[in-house]
Structure 1
Amino acid sequence: MNKTIYIAAGCFWGGEKYFSLIHGVLSTKVGYANGTTSNPTYEEVCHNNTGHAETVEIQYDDSILPLEKLLRLYYEVIDPTSVNKQGGDQGIQYRTGIYYIDEADLEIIKPSLEELAKKYDKPIAIEVKQLLHFYDAEEYHQKYLDKNPSGYCHIGQCAFDSAKNA
């Protein structure tokens, strides 16, 4: 069955590239989630207090890629204890988060985070909330690293390579 989940992993360029390479992911799109303004621009998200997170919309086939596996792969490319920061990017828009549209996904998300927490001494900082709003990012952000292969990314090439084999 095809499902959709929204994941914030810091800068959305790398998150989109990473998730798009995983077998079972049908499509990805970058945008801004769960903020306080309508139709924000990148400039507004970066410089104003809009509350939006840079987020990747992931459509996937859960018969090929169960949510449990997708979340495990997500945890491999973030620092789940970092607050509002991933790699060199810092600010509320770079927070980590899992935004669901299907309440049943919580039955998978919560135990997954509990298991993840056992691996760390610091608290897990991944925000888990129902998706309230998602606004597509500007076109130049879509598939950014495909268009700009040498663009900045906090997710390393080895992670992209392993995503292809996940």
Structure 2
Amino acid sequence: MTMETAVLGGGCFWCIEAVYLEVRGVTAVESGYTGGQQPNPTYEQVCTGGTGHAEVVKLEFDPAVISYRDILEIFFTIHDPTTLNRQGNDVGTQYRSVIYYQSPEQEATARQVMAEMAAVWDAPIVTELSPPQPYYRAEDYHQNYFAQHPLQGYCAFVVEPKVVKFRKMHSNRLK
């Protein structure tokens, strides 16, 4: 079994992580940081916007079960790829919409999906497409955050609606 990796940023990593943990074919999901200048950044440092990192999730998936294209189609339905450096009330470059492709094939697929998504959204897509960058795992307390804190305010009012939307739109992709 050959696994692939995808690295995606679409706002707060708690939201993206919560969705992909439910996707059939995704075998691991990890919250982290990438795309910045400072080695081994902390959450507090990334939150300032000064390190240049994006909050991302790193996915391991089985391409025999779910394709990279499917991973990206889900990505474009669970966040707003038309808002520059923000998702809702989360504002700053750390919340940017970004795809860190891991191979030339992923880059080509991402370009194709982004072009298709441009026809779906009313505003221009601002999602960045970037080559792999050094990745840093987020602190332990960020991992599987929504499952551990479903009643926390942010989780109840921001994460949960994204998970519900995913379940409705992509029920055929649920574990």
What TM-score range do you get, normalising by the shorter chain?
over 0.9
CA distance in 2, matches of 1:138, 1:165: 32
Aligned to 2:135: 134
CA distance in 1, matches of 2:11, 2:132: 17
Aligned to 2:167: 161
CA distance in 1, matches of 2:88, 2:172: 24
Secondary structure of 2:29's counterpart equals strand
| Letter matched to residue 158 of structure 1 | V
More helix, by proportion: 2
Q: Check whether the contact 2:33–2:54 (CA below 8 A) recurs between aligned residues.
A: yes
C-alpha RMSD of the superposition: 1.4
Q: Check whether the contact 2:49–2:94 (CA below 8 A) recurs between aligned residues.
A: no
1:9 aligns with 2:18: no
Secondary structure of 2:78's counterpart equals coil
- Which deviates further from its counterpart, 101-110 or 53-62? 101-110
Percent identity, please.
Answer: 35
CA distance in 2, matches of 1:110, 1:70: 14
1:16-31 alignment, distance < 5 Å: 16-31=17-32
| Letter matched to residue 94 of structure 1 | Y
With structure 2 as the length reference, what TM-score do the two structures score?
0.89
Aligned to 2:84: 83
- Which deviates further from its counterpart, 103-112 or 33-42? 103-112
Q: How many residues are paired up?
A: 166
Aligned to 1:35: 36
Instruction: State the shift of 1:160 in Å.
Output: 4.8
1:53 aligns with 2:54: yes
Q: Which runs of 4+ in 1 moved over 6 A?
A: none
Deviations 1:45-64 (A, max 9, x none): 01251000000000000111
| Letter matched to residue 161 of structure 1 | R
Instruction: State the shift of 1:65 in Å.
Output: 0.4
CA distance in 1, matches of 2:19, 2:172: 12
Cα distance, 1:134–1:73 mapped onto 2, change above 3 Å: same
Cα distance, 1:118–1:160 mapped onto 2, change above 3 Å: closer
User: Unpaired segments of 5 or more residues in structure 1?
Assistant: none
Deviations 1:47-86 (A, max 9, x none): 2510000000000001110011111111111111110111
Aligned to 2:74: 73
CA distance in 2, matches of 1:164, 1:30: 23
